[in-house]
Structure formats: C-alpha cells, structure tokens
Amino acid sequence: MIRRARLLSVVATLLAGAIGIISSTQTWLMVALKAGGDPLPVPGASAIPVLAPLSLAVLALGGALSIVGPVLRYVFGALSVLASASLLWLTVPVVFAPPTSAVASTVTTATGITGRDAVAGLVGSLTATAWPAVALAGWILLAATGVFTLVTAHAWRRVGRRYEAEQTPHAPAEGPLDAVDSWDELSRGEDPTG
C-alpha cells in the first residue's frame, strides 16, 4: 500500500475536488415560501458561496501533489486537512439543519426582499436533497486523504527518478580518438581535445 500511496492520495484528492465542483452546480436545498408557489431550488454554490472556489483549489492541490517533492507533500497534506475542515464546518449544518442563511440569496433573487430577518420570515420550509450529504462524504474522504498523505509522504518515491540518466564514471579512451569517441566524450561533458 505504501508503494501506491502517492497514487491513492492524488486520486482521492482529485475525486474529492470533483465531487465538490459537481455538487456546487446541483440543487442542495428546496425552499418553500410562506406565500406559496413552487419551491425554489438552491444550488450548492448559493448555499455555500466558497464551495466552488475551494473545490477548485482541492483539484489543483491533487494535481500538484503528483509532482511535488518531500517538503511540499507535507504542506499539501496539511492544506488538504485544513480545506476539508473548512468545508466540513460549512456543509454539516446544511445537511442536518439547513439554516435560512443558506437560501438567502435565492429568496432575495426571487422576491427582491433582503435582510436576514425579512428572508427568515418568508421561508416556510427547507428541504435538503442528497447532494449536501454527497459533498459531506467527499470532505470526509479529503480529510482522510490529507492525514494519509501526512503519514505516508516520507515513503513516496521521488518523481522522475526513472527518467534520470545514470551517471557512471567513464575512463578516458586510450590511444587515438575517432569521431564517435569524441562525440561520446562531448556527450559526457568531457573535452576530447584535452
């Protein structure tokens, strides 16, 4: 599992970010007004305004995690934990007891009425869809991935090691040099005329 730790961390971080981006465009809440009419759909980006930007940041974090060195692995693992804590803090209330503040922008757009108390007076009921719970699962995955990254980052192989040229000392050629030997010495950074 340690051999695949980088792959697991990158894929799980990218998955959590993708869940966040997708859920930001989906309906999180349905709000029914006391005045009646059709319920108003509230997308995730309206319920939590920082949902899309933080999800994009998580996607970028996952992409960058695939190429960073040892020090930044720990930094990115810590950033994953911090981002997941922030998103969990914002998402949990929407899942379990949706606040009227989560629907304020949608109600204001539909009615033209602003102000926390005025909007709360218009809201008859709030119903959460499955999307906040899906996003919550993504944030739990992100938190676990951040901790996993912090625990396993020391054992990850260096990126690009397989592409590095093997450095072996070459003995200078004895006798007269032909054109191929001269080119070989130039390729190794040696002066064939010396």
pLDDT digits (tens, 9 = 90+) for 166-186: 555 555 556 666 767 777 777
Break the chain into its structural domains and give their ranges.
Answer: 2-160
Three-state secondary structure readout of the chain: CHHHHHHHHHHHHHHHHHHHHHHHCCEEEEEEECCCCCCEEEEHHHHCCCHHHHHHHHHHHHHHHCCCCHHHHHHHHHHHHHHHHHHHHHHHHHHHCCCHHHCHHHHHHHHCCCCHHHHHHHEEEEEECCHHHHHHHHHHHHHHHHHHHHHHHHHCCCCCHHHCCCCCCCCCCCCCCCHHHHHHHHHCCCCCCC
What is the dihedral sign for C-alpha 21, 130, 149, 164? Answer: negative
pLDDT tens-place string over residues 48-62 = 999 999 999 999 999
- Residue, of 110 and 44, whose pLDDT is higher: 44
- Residue, of 7 and 35, whose pLDDT is higher: 7
CATH 1.20.120 is right for the domain spanning 2-160? no
CA separation (Å) from 119 to 32, 44, 99, 102, 165?
12, 18, 11, 11, 66
pTM of the model: 0.76
pLDDT tens-place string over residues 136-175 = 999 999 999 999 999 998 888 776 555 455 555 555 556 6
- Residue, of 100 and 133, whose pLDDT is higher: 133
pLDDT of 46 higher than 60: yes
